[in-house]
Amino acid sequence: MEVMTMYLVCDGGGTKTEYMLFDLSGHIHGFSKTQGTNAIFINPDAAADAVCGGISDCLQQAGIRDTDLNEICLFIPGFKNSANAVRDRFPKTRLMVLGDEYNAYYGALGEPGGIAVLSGTGSFAVCRDKKGSWISVGGWGPLFGDKGSGYHMGLMCLDRITQQWDRGSTNTLLQTLALKQLHMESIPSLRQGAYKPDFTREKIAKLSYTVAEAAKAGDIDALGILDEASVCLADLAAAVARRVGNDELPVSLLGGTSHMGDIFTKRFEAALKEKLPQCSYREPMFEPIVGAALFVMYEIVGRMDSREDFLKNIQAEWGTTYVNG
């Protein structure tokens, strides 16, 4: 009996990690989700355990062994020091470890050509130039980078609500929503609560959705945060365009903050038009995990016998089973 060619891809970040097992026709045979696995911010052993668990879960769903896999491709920033533990668990399968900019790119654009800007817990922009080289900017992490990310918006939210308090403004909408999100009783409690170990990067990043909620209700400070973040992300796209010497490329925005809807994406589009008037904004085609599968097809397999059928199958199965289902 002919053995089906199978690949397993993984999209990991600071908050969550997704796994997909698929074949060359674009049919999905397994899907799993675990905690964040960026080993810069969590224990490397815990990151490796989570990845091994996610892979095993997909294999179990498909009823196959790891020896039936052609390749495991992990798109996880900061994971290289954890990779050996995964290799030990799946020794007969080739393992590739890359950053999440590559699958984000293919998820946004579907094929080579254009600039992808990702704004999740962190942020970066990436492009593939005419020579096939990858150009990436941003992604410097929370200490001195990640501008325009969910984490950056969360920090700006904390700054705004404490500044409001210092000016004598209390019980503002942004304050009320932020305290509810953080499960805190008052703004002064942030003096201690914000410096406890459980006040994590992920917890701060989730405040970005509080900002979006307040902005939709017309909160001036929240709207200002979204304005500033959108400009920061447009700056990332402009930096990439300068590096590749082309300001006429399509630009897509993806990641958690892009799910805020028009309240944010329209601001990004406007900021992009100001920074790069010759660029066009394009709605992202797929989630990063689907982009991981496309990366495998373009960059590893090196061919698609039927690109249209592959995209049709993987988009239909992902959308009905894992997005809407």
pLDDT tens, position by position, 143-194: 898 999 999 999 999 999 999 999 999 999 999 999 999 999 999 999 999 9
Torsion angle of C-alpha atoms 142, 145, 151, 152, degrees rounded to 10: 130
Describe the strand order of the beta sheet including 115-119 as a list of residue ranges.
Answer: 134-138, 123-128, 115-119, 250-254, 280-281
Q: Cα 290 vs. chain centroid, distance in angstroms?
A: 12
* pLDDT level of residue 101 (50, 70, 90 thresholds): confident
- For residue 251, name the pLDDT band (cuts at 50, 70, 90): very high
Confidence of residue 32 (pLDDT cuts 50, 70, 90): very high
The pLDDT, as a whole number, for residue 322 is 57
Residue 2 pLDDT class (50, 70, 90 cuts) = very low
At residue 325, the pLDDT reads 36
User: What confidence category does residue 98 fall into, taking pLDDT thresholds of 50, 70 and 90?
Assistant: very high
